[in-house]
Every structure is written in C-alpha cells, then in structure tokens.
Amino acid sequence: MEDRVARAMAQLKATEEAVARAKEDLSRASVSKHSPDRSVRVSVGPQGEVTSLEFLDGKYKKMSPTDLSSVILQAINAARADMARRVMDVFDPVVRRAPGDRSRSHDSGLDWDEIFGSLISETETPSRPGPMNRLRDEMYEDEVPGPPGGESNRTAGE
C-alpha cells in the first residue's frame, strides 16, 4: 500500500512539474498569421489575445470596410487557432490524450472542443477547396482590374 501511495505521489509531483513547465513555455508564446491576401498580419498571445495588428503594403487603402473587416477576422481566427493547437500540443504529455484524438483527452475528462469551441475545426486547412475558398477566390478575383471598357476577362461558368 505504501508503495502505491509513493508511486502516486511521485506521479503527482511529475505532473505538477510538467504543468509548471508547460505554463512557463506558453507564457512567452506568440503566433503571427497573414490574411489570405497578405494585406494584414496579426499576432496573438498565449490566451489568443491580439497583441499586434499590421496593415501591409497599403492594400487596405483600396479595400471596402467589409472586405477589410473580413481579412482582419480571418487572420485573427487563423492565429488564434494556431495558438490553440500549440496549447493542445504543449499540454498533450500532461493530459495524455489518446493517439490521434484531438477532441478528448484520454481518461482525463478534458474536452478540447468544449475549451476552444469550433475554433480548431473551422480553421483546419481543407484537403480540397470548399465553398468558402471558392467565395474567397471570387472576392479577390473581382479586385483584379479588367481590360479598358469595363469588359470582363472571365467567361460564363467561371
């Protein structure tokens, strides 16, 4: 019995030390991401808070408020999702998730989806272009100036 208690205490101490190291590592963490059109760069801290917002190459001057808002939010969400993934990776050894399981920690009751909501799943890179990617492509294609006279370079069905 004493042997089991000693092992449990040693495991508890090792877990506490691992949590302290993970917290220390994350306290200095930062992630930066560009918007899809590279007009905006956003940095976030360890809790997903925006720490920096940069407008690059003056592209923002030609954007409508709606488009600018959209690219800012895309960059923020991408950076926050990367930080959430980093948090999950840092705490992985501590919570001992089942291999390949990103949603629940093995036997710990920890639910990453509950903690991060849909942030992770909504920002994962799709294996093939989805409807939102096509819409985004259409938005950026529309910004390319057409030939003189207002005619379009695009043909029907594009």
**Domain boundaries along the sequence of the chain:** 2-142
Burial of 29 (0-12, 13-18, 19+ CB in 10 A): middle
Q: 0.75 exceeded by the pTM?
A: no
pLDDT in tens, 43-67: 999 889 999 999 998 999 999 999 9
- DSSP letters for the chain: -HHHHHHHHHHHHHHHHHHHHHHHHHHT--EEEE-TTSSEEEEE-TTS-EEEEEE-TTGGGGS-HHHHHHHHHHHHHHHHHHHHHHHHHHHHHHHTPPTT-SSB-TTT--BHHHHHTTHHHHHSPPSS--HHHHHHHHHHHHTS---TTS--SPPTT-
Q: What is the pLDDT of residue 110?
A: 64
Query: What dotted CATH number matches 2-142?
Result: 3.30.1310.10
Distance CA 39, CA 139 (A): 14
Q: Tell me how many degrees the CA angle 98-101-102 measures, rounded to the nearest 5.
A: 125
Q: Which amino acid is located at 52 in the chain?
A: S
Tell me the pLDDT tens digit for each residue of 87-120: 888 887 777 644 444 544 445 556 666 667 666 6
31-34/50-55 β-pairing: unpaired
